[in-house]
Amino acid sequence: MRKLTLPQINFNKLKSGFRANFERLSKDGFEKIFNNIDQLGIKRGVDRVGIDRFINQCALMAAGSGVVTGAGGITTMLVGVPVDLINLITQQFRVTLAINYYNRGDYRIPFDEFIKIIATSLKVDAGITVTKTIMEEVAEKLLINIGSKTAERLVPVVGAIIGGSANYLFIKRMAASVKDMHAVVIDIK
């Protein structure tokens, strides 16, 4: 009977690559993701289906990438986690923009103001200026939420369920946090 062997994974190399991508994400990635979001399309979506249904659609799209990432085991996870992360951030940004539009009536928002809203919803100290520090804190909070589920995704079926559920619940929790935040008047300077 042949021995079952697992592929050798260099976790130090993986960790250093992850760290480099993390730094790149916190420097330019958030603004690039933000700039690629159609804010007018979000306004139209909220006007057409309502805020709660729009949030649910975003949560389902995030869940879809979580299921795909978790279903394939370690191979899919290695390729899928970065894609899942980008999709999760995009859906969170879309939900935040939608709630902001719903409460303020204006769908246009500059990136500097937007990242402060994201930081506040993630419980990051938004009193600091929008610098590399705030971007890194936002990226760290997002990655902690995603990374805590990554290990469970190694088992395909369980990983798919966990990945999809984790992403769905993350978007729903973030929406609730942003809604609560909009209930309180925040002076953004």
- Report how far residue 183's alpha carbon sits from residue 176's, in angstroms, rounded to the nearest whole number: 11
- Report how far residue 146's alpha carbon sits from residue 73's, in angstroms, rounded to the nearest whole number: 16
pLDDT value for 90: 92
Over the stretch 74-87, which tens digit does the pLDDT of each residue have? 666 667 777 888 88
pLDDT value for 29: 82
Average pLDDT over residues 51-62: 94
Structure tokens at 85: 């992360």
* 3-class DSSP assignment, residue 56: helix
> What's the DSSP call for residue 37?
S
User: What single string gives the DSSP state of each residue in 112-138?
Assistant: HHHHHHHHHHTT--TTS-SSHHHHHHH
Lowest average pLDDT, out of 45-49, 72-76, 117-121, goes to 72-76
- Report how far residue 68's alpha carbon sits from residue 131's, in angstroms, rounded to the nearest whole number: 34
In the chain, what percentage of residues exceed pLDDT 70?
A: 58
Mean pLDDT of the chain: 75
User: Is the model's pTM score more than 0.85?
Assistant: no
> What's the DSSP call for residue 47?
H
Over the stretch 20-38, which tens digit does the pLDDT of each residue have? 666 666 667 888 989 999 9
Confidence of residue 118 (pLDDT cuts 50, 70, 90): confident
